[in-house]
Amino acid sequence: MIELELLPGGNDASALGVNDDGVVVGSSDNSVGVRRAVLWRDGRIVDLGLGDDVDSSASAVNRYGAIVGSVELLGNRAGGSRAFIWRDGRITDLGNLGGHVAWAVAINDHDWVVGTSSTKNGQPHAFVWRSGVMTDLGTLPGRYQDSRAYDVDNESRIVGRSTIDGMNAVPVMWDESGIQRLTDRTGGATGINSRGQVAGGLATGAESFIWTRGRLTVIGPVEDEMYVQAHGIDRDGRVVGTTGFRAFVWHREEFQWLPGLNTPGAVGANDISDNGRFVVGSSVITAAGGQFERPLLWNLRAGASRPPHRSTTLQQVEEPDNQTRRDQTEGV
């Protein structure tokens, strides 16, 4: 485990994404308390230079070093946000779907970017941005009013959630055929790997899942933990995420617990590289002035702690047919 450095004068930082080379992206506050999008390469922090009058954060990085994220407007422009892609020091604003808010959260190796933007009616909709054009991915038909996209693979499959009446979300996938509801259970899909396996969380909070070709494997609950939330998945089906206070890697029916800093406080895992080598997240520490996050990088090839027992209950759930698959999206 490596504790990543902060910007000079900063107290708080988050590591949110990592690629196969161990390049990490996230955010750190600076000496005046402004949140800055950053990358860490070989353990050294680099400010992406999004401007001094915005809070910014980087969410994901692909194998070629292209980075996506969002900026929150401050001062007289407060209340809006913009999505961006950073390539070799050049920053491109991705635009929006007619509203004032946009977030970019994932990118594949073809520079397809996915995220969420408000429409002119103020509803959040999932989008895909490619070749300079942002496309509204739409929602499930009927009562499904909004949607969010959280990940995209190199086969152009996008995963996220679509919400019923603004309350109950269901996991969905967009592909060349349209939008598909993955399960009749409520929740959301947060990651997809190159084999088409999807990871996500269920609305119970105490359970997450892997979806594989129509079958749902439930992860959790874990005894004495408040929840189990999956955040990412690698090409071999390793899932990373967070319980109440612990960061985990789940694989082949077992949890592997990741160490935090040597202080009391919660630890969380936010992403895993596709090759399964690197995991990033954060550890909460208590210091003068309050509680702060510290960014962490784990190298799984170097080993990590094993649980003393198999700590998950698995269920195999037969899924409904594909009647909910609809061609609701443009160009995906």
Residue 321 has pLDDT above 90, yes or no: no
Whether the Cβ atoms of residue 154 and residue 109 lie closer than 8 Å to each other: yes
Tell me the pLDDT tens digit for each residue of 132-167: 999 999 999 887 789 999 999 999 999 999 997 768
pLDDT given at position 263: 67
pLDDT band for position 293 (cuts 50, 70, 90): very high
Number of residues that make up the chain: 332
Tell me how far apart the alpha carbons of residues 59 and 38 are, in angstroms, rounded to a whole number.
10
Residue 45 to residue 4: CA distance in whole angstroms: 8
- As given in the structure block, the two tokens for residue 73 are 């407007």
Q: 94 and 114 in contact (C-beta within 8 Å)?
A: no
Q: Of 3-7, 87-91, 314-318, which range is least confident?
A: 314-318
Q: Residue 277: CA atoms inside 13 Å, Cβ hemisphere, count? A: 9
Cα separation values, 322 from 107, 179, 181, 236, 260, Å: 27, 10, 8, 25, 42
Residue 70: strand pairing partners: 57, 83
Work out whether strand 35-41 and strand 24-29 pair parallel, antiparallel, or are unpaired.
antiparallel
Q: What's the pLDDT tens digit per position in 164-180?
A: 776 899 999 999 999 99
CA terminus-to-terminus distance, the chain? 39
Q: What pLDDT score does 289 carry? A: 75
Q: Tell me what the pLDDT averaged over the chain comes to.
A: 89
Residue 76 has pLDDT above 70, yes or no: no
- Domain range list for the chain: 1-112
pLDDT one-digit tens code per residue, 201-239: 999 899 999 999 999 999 999 988 889 999 999 999 999
Q: How far apart are CA 174 and CA 328, in angstroms?
A: 9
SS3 annotation, the chain: CEECCCCCCCCCEEEEEECCCCCEEEEEECCCCCEEEEEEECCEEEECCCCCCEEEEEEEECCCCCEEEEEEECHHHCCCEEEEEEECCEEEECCCEEEEEEEEEEECCCCCEEEEEEECCCCEEEEEEECCEEEECCCCCCCEEEEEEEEECCCCCEEEEEEECCCEEEEEEEECCEEEECCCCCEEEEEECCCCCEEEEECCCCCEEEEECCEEEEECCCCCCCCCEEEEECCCCCEEEECCCCEEEEECCEEEEECCCCCCCCEEEEEECCCCCEEEEEEEEEECCEEEEEEEEEEHHHCCECCCCCCCCCCEEECCCHHHCECCCCCC
What was the pLDDT predicted at 77? 58
Which pLDDT value is given to residue 315?
Answer: 36
For residue 43, pLDDT over 50 is answered with yes
Q: Residues with Cβ < 8 Å from 67, sequence gap 6 or more?
A: 25, 37, 39, 48, 58, 60, 61, 85, 86, 87, 107
Q: How far apart are CA 24 and CA 297, in angstroms?
A: 8
pLDDT the model gives residue 264 = 66
Residue 322 has pLDDT above 60, yes or no: no
Band (pLDDT 50/70/90 cuts) for residue 53 is confident
| Residue written as token pair 């947060």 | 190
pLDDT at 51: 86
- The label of the residue with tokens 């999807």 reads 198
Contacts of 277 (CB under 8 A, 6+ apart): 20, 22, 299, 300, 301
Report whether pLDDT(15) > 70: yes
Q: Which of 73-77, 79-83, 260-264, 267-271 has the highest mean pLDDT?
A: 267-271
